[in-house]
Every structure is written in C-alpha cells, then in structure tokens.
C-alpha cells in the first residue's frame, strides 16, 4: 500500500478519533484486549514458531499485553493524566484584567510505531507504544517487524475487529509491511507527528536523525537498550553463591534478549574471580537456545569472537561454536574496562562481563564514566550505602530506574514504572516506554483563553462533568 495513502487515511481517522470520549476510547481498548484473548489458540503457537521463544514465555507475554491494554483503559478514564488546569479570570483586576485560562493535554496526531523483535506481542503490533498512542487519542501506523510477520497480521486482525465493534474508523490502526525504505518513508511523511521505536541503537538513531532532518521535525521516542550495570559491595557477597545464581538466571532469561539484561557487573577485587567462576559454573548448566533471528545470532557470535581476541579479558564460560545462543561470561578489571569502549557496549544475548574494582574511588570513577542506561542495580547492604550520597546521585544522572537489590529483567507494567534513561539508552529520557506514563509522549499541552463554557471540552468545563481531578487556581481538586 502507498505510504502517502496510509498517512492520509490516518490523518482522516484522527479527525474522528480525537473527538472520542474517554469512555469510548477505554471501551475500544477493552474490546481490543478481548479480541486478542479470542485468538489466543492461534496466536500463541504462531508467535512461538516465529520468535523461537517457548510457550510459557509467549503465554505470559500475551497476558502482559492484554493486561497493559486494560490498564491504559482504566487510566484514561480516571482522567488525571489530562492535567486539566484552570486559572479563573478576574475582569476587575487592575491595571489589567486577568484572563480565564484553561489548559489540558491533547493528542498529537498520527503516530508511526516500529515494533521489537524480542517482544513479538508486548512491544510490537498491540504493544506498549501502540496502546499508549491509541489511549492518548492518536491513530497508529504500525510498521510490521520482519521477525514475526504472521503474528503481527493476526494481532492486526484482532485490532481491526475491535475497531469495528467499537464503531471507529478502521484507519485508526493501520499495518504496513515492508523494509527499511517503507519505515523511512513513514517517518518522513509530513502527516506523521511522532514515532515510537524499540530496537537497535543503529536503527533508533537513524530514525531519530531522519525525523530531525524533516522540514517539520517530529519527536522520535526510541528505546535502544543498555548494559544495565550491577554494582556489588562487600557485605552481600557473604552469600556469593546465591548472588552468582541470581545473576546467571537473569543473564540468560529469554536467551539474554532483553533490553534490561544485566550485561556488566562490578565486584570488589577480592571476590571477583570467585564470583566469575561460580557464575560461570551455573552458566555451564544452561543449554544454548535458538535466538530470535539469524541476524541477532550472527551479531552475537561475532561480538564474542572479537572479544575473545582481547588480552585484557579472561573467560569463566565461553559460548560454544554453534547456531544457538550459548551463555558466556568474561572477567576483566576496571582499568581495562575504562580504557576499552568495546567492553562497555551492549552485546545483545546471554553475555556478561564481571569487572573487578579495588576501591570506592574506582567505583565512583566507573559511575561517572557510564553512558546513559535504562537501569542500574545496587547489591549493597543498607549500612554500606550510608554516606554514599555522591554515588547514588551520580547513578541517578546515568539511568532511568535505580534498583536496590533484585535484577533489572522483568519490567513491571504500572503507574510508577520508568523504562527509559539518558541517551544512548533512549532518544528522550523524559519519558518511558513501559507503564501508563508512556501516554505523555503522544500528547501536547493546549490552552484556551476566555473560552465560553459551552465551547470548552468536557475536561475543562466549570462543572467538571467527567469528575476528573483538576488543578484549580493552583490547588489540586479531586
């Protein structure tokens, strides 16, 4: 289908869709979740076959996908996200009358979404980017991912059914198949108003640059991954075996194909060798598995081969030479890691590097040198963090989510989740791509001045017919 026609239809659908009430939009989203549930018997095996991910994982991912759609439905009905704000006017104010000002958030227009290979459901056709845009009131043009075309079309069918059931134009959601050219044409089209993307740094940055070179630049919300460092202090290493098992498990979950995979772990020097050896033994017991696609497998194998040439790295577990993604674990020290950028880059797959450090100063140096990350994790006893305000505040500058214990894999979908950190983990650290706050990417503030009550949108009418929380003359009223 011609890209121009797709965007024209999308812009046309926007004229209707943006006028839907919150209840109508929420009802459509609930219909969408139900439609996906109805095709579960066909969808799960198809997604398993195309992604090589096991049935349990895909079943869980479908639950996550429908769960997040229903969460967005509840969220938009509650209404606080509209940030309705009213400053009453005062015609008698001197020397000049005070105007009546009312502001809320309005949808931005057609959004182009690029799905991810590693989440064929939750970050793809009906995934978080799509749903947050639809919840905001924006139509979506979805560029199908070549790793799971049949899955994508099945989901598209379910969304179309939900649109029909809800009496909405089918062009509220359109599906485009194709490659790089179609993707770039979608981003360049003047009717496109924003882009959501999950994938490689190379792809996300290319689309970001393209969007900024347009006559009318548009925002690109690209989530491009990170190495998700774990910082370990001495006290927790009293339980080294347990921590090594936890690390090995997180590193290999989903064949390491998560943007929150903990690719680097900093361990005090006196424990580093033993930690690497113990984690390496745990990894020995884990079989290699087929990765998402041949390209991802090739890049994984090539990255490890390159690293194996380095004299600054030793291996506690090497990956087998195979067409499967086998886990691998390397060991180096802070000086080598700081000196060699190639050791700091994300290797997409079940690979981790243990970095030994020998002082608090070294740890601080590492923290200061970090690139922007989605997550950073601290494995530290609370007593060891007292007086470490500088370290914690440095880490805050470097990531979107700071964890105290646990592992970064397993990103909860909720109200407070932040999945997005400073560049290069994303192209815009002010937003998230997981959780309801993701809606803010696809809205813009709009104010009305001295507008008669009858002409005001429901969210801003004096009587508050929607019953939503609002800020009135500087005070939150709910």
Q: Which is nearer to ligand NAP, 40 or 57 (CB)?
A: 57
Q: Which residues contact 311 (CB under 8 A, 6 or more apart)?
A: none
50, 259, 346, 399: the catalytic one is 259
Q: Which sign, positive or negative, has the C-alpha torsion 352, 353, 358, 359?
A: negative
C-alpha to C-alpha distances, 37 to 29, 31, 74, 280, 464, nearest whole angstrom: 13, 10, 18, 40, 35
Considering only 32, 36, 84, 116, the residue that binds ligand NAP (CB under 6 A) is 116
Nearer to ligand NAP, 33 or 195 (CB): 195
Question: Does position 199 bind ligand NAP by CB under 6 A?
Answer: yes
Residue 152 in contact with ligand NAP, rule: CB under 6 A? no
- Euclidean distance between CA atoms 93 and 71, whole angstroms: 44
Three-state secondary structure call for residue 73 = helix
Among the listed residues 61, 223, 333, 362, the single contact to ligand NAP using CB under 6 A: 223
Q: Which of 14, 17, 81, 114 binds ligand NAP (CB under 6 A)?
A: 114
Q: How far is the CB of 425 from ligand NAP (least distance, A)?
A: 8
Q: Residue 146 is encoded by which pair of tokens?
A: 């070549």
Q: Binding of ligand NAP at residue 417 (CB under 6 A)?
A: no
Residue 348 binds to ligand NAP (criterion: CB under 6 A): yes
- Stretch of residues binding ligand NAP (CB under 6 A), selected from 45-53, 143-151, 235-243, 385-393: 143-151
- For residues 245 and 248, give the distance between their C-alpha atoms in angstroms, rounded to a whole number: 5
Among 9, 20, 35, 117, the residue binding ligand NAP under the rule CB under 6 A is 117
Strands 111-114 and 194-198: parallel
Q: Which of the residues 50, 61, 138, 223 is marked catalytic?
A: 223
Query: What are the E-state strand segments in 167-259?
Result: 173-176, 194-198, 220-223, 230-232
Do residues 231 and 377 touch, judged by C-beta distance below 8 A? yes
DSSP string, 349-407: SSEEEEEEE-SHHHHHHHHHHPPPEEEEEEE--HHHHTT-HHHHHHHHHHEEEEEESS-
How many CA atoms lie less than 13 Å away from 66 in the CB half-sphere? 20
Which stretch in 142-150, 234-242, 404-412, 468-476 sits in contact with ligand NAP by CB under 6 A?
142-150
Provide the 3-class DSSP secondary structure of residue 185. Answer: helix
Contact region for ligand NAP (CB under 6 A) — 24-32, 151-159, 202-210, 413-421?
202-210
Q: Which residue has the tokens 């339980």?
A: 239
Binding flag, residue 129, ligand NAP (CB under 6 A): no
Q: Measured between alpha carbons, how far is 281 from 78 in angstroms, rounded to an integer?
A: 50
Contact stretch for ligand NAP (CB under 6 A) within 80-88, 197-205, 240-248, 449-457:
197-205
Stretch that binds ligand NAP, among 9-17, 164-172, 221-229, 246-254 (CB under 6 A): 221-229
What value, to the nearest 5°, has the Cα angle with vertex 26 and ends 23 and 27? 85
Contact between 124 and ligand NAP per CB under 6 A:
no
In the shown chain, the binding pattern of residues 15 to 54 toward ligand NAP, with x for contact by CB under 6 A and - for none, equals ----------------------------------------
Cβ atoms of 29 and 69 within 8 Å: the answer is: yes
Kindly state whether residue 432 participates in binding ligand NAP, applying the rule CB under 6 A.
no
Q: Does the annotation mark 259 as catalytic?
A: yes
β 264-268/351-357 pair status: parallel
Here's the x/- map for ligand NAP, 292-331, by CB under 6 A: it reads as: ----x--x--------------------------------
Please state, in angstroms and rounded to a whole number, the distance separating the CA atoms of residues 130 and 321.
38
| Residue 116 or 140 having the CB closest to ligand NAP | 116
DSSP secondary structure letter of residue 434: S
263 binds ligand NAP per the rule CB under 6 A:
no
The reply to whether 180 sits near ligand NAP by the rule CB under 6 A is yes
Sequence-separated (6 or more) residues with CB below 8 Å from residue 423: 371, 372, 429
User: Which residue, 103 or 148, has its beta carbon nearer to ligand NAP?
Assistant: 148
Tokens 């192209």, residue located: 427
* Binding range to ligand NAP, per CB under 6 A, among 34-42, 55-63, 141-149, 447-455: 141-149
Nearer to ligand NAP, 219 or 268 (CB): 219
List active site positions.
223, 259
Q: Which residues bind ligand NAP (CB under 6 A)?
A: 114, 116-118, 143, 145-146, 179-180, 183-184, 198-200, 203, 206-207, 223-225, 259, 296, 299, 348
């Amino acid at each position: 289908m011609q890209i121009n026609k797709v965007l024209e239809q999308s812009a046309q659908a926007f004229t209707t869709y943006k006028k839907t009430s919150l209840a109508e939009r929420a009802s459509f989203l609930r219909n969408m979740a139900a439609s996906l549930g109805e095709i579960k018997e066909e969808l799960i095996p198809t997604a398993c076959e195309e992604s090589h991910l096991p049935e349990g994982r895909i079943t869980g991912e479908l639950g996550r996908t429908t769960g997040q759609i229903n969460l967005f439905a509840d969220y938009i009905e509650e209404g606080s996200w509209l940030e309705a704000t009213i400053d009453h006017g005062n015609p008698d104010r001197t020397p000049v009358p005070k105007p009546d000002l009312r502001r809320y958030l309005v949808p931005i227009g057609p959004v182009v979404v690029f799905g991810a290979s590693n989440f064929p459901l939750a970050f793809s056709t009906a995934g978080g980017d799509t749903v947050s845009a639809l919840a905001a009131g924006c139509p979506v043009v979805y560029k199908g991912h070549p790793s799971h075309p049949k899955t994508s079309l099945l989901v598209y069918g379910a969304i179309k059914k939900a649109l029909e059931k809800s009496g909405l134009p089918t062009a509220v959601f359109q599906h485009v198949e194709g490659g790089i050219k179609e993707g770039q044409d979608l981003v360049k089209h003047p009717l496109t108003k924003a882009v959501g993307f999950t994938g490689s740094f190379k792809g996300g940055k290319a689309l970001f640059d393209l969007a900024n070179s347009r006559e009318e630049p548009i925002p690109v919300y690209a989530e491009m991954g990170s190495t998700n460092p774990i910082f370990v202090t001495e006290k927790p290493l009293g339980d080294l075996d347990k921590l090594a098992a936890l690390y090995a498990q997180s590193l290999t979950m989903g064949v390491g194909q998560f943007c929150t995979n903990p690719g680097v772990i900093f361990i005090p020097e006196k424990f580093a060798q033993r930690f690497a050896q113990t984690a390496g033994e745990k990894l020995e017991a884990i079989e290699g598995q087929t990765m998402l696609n041949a390209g991802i497998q090739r890049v994984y194998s090539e990255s490890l081969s390159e690293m194996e040439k380095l004299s600054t790295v030793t291996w506690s577990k090497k990956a087998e030479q195979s067409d499967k993604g086998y886990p691998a674990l390397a060991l180096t020290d802070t000086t080598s890691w700081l000196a060699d950028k190639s050791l700091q880059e994300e290797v997409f797959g079940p690979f981790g590097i243990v970095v030994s450090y020998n002082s608090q100063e070294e740890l601080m140096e590492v923290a200061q040198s970090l690139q922007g990350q989605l997550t950073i994790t601290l494995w530290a006893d609370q007593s060891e963090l007292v007086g470490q305000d500088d370290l914690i505040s440095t880490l805050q500058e470097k990531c979107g989510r700071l964890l105290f214990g646990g592992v970064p894999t397993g990103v909860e979908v909720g109200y407070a989740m932040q999945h997005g950190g400073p560049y290069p983990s994303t192209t815009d650290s002010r937003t998230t791509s997981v959780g309801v706050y993701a809606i803010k990417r696809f809205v813009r503030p709009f104010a009305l001045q001295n507008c008669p009550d009858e002409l005001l949108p429901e969210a801003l009418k004096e009587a508050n017919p929607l019953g939503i929380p609002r800020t009135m003359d500087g005070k939150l009223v709910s």
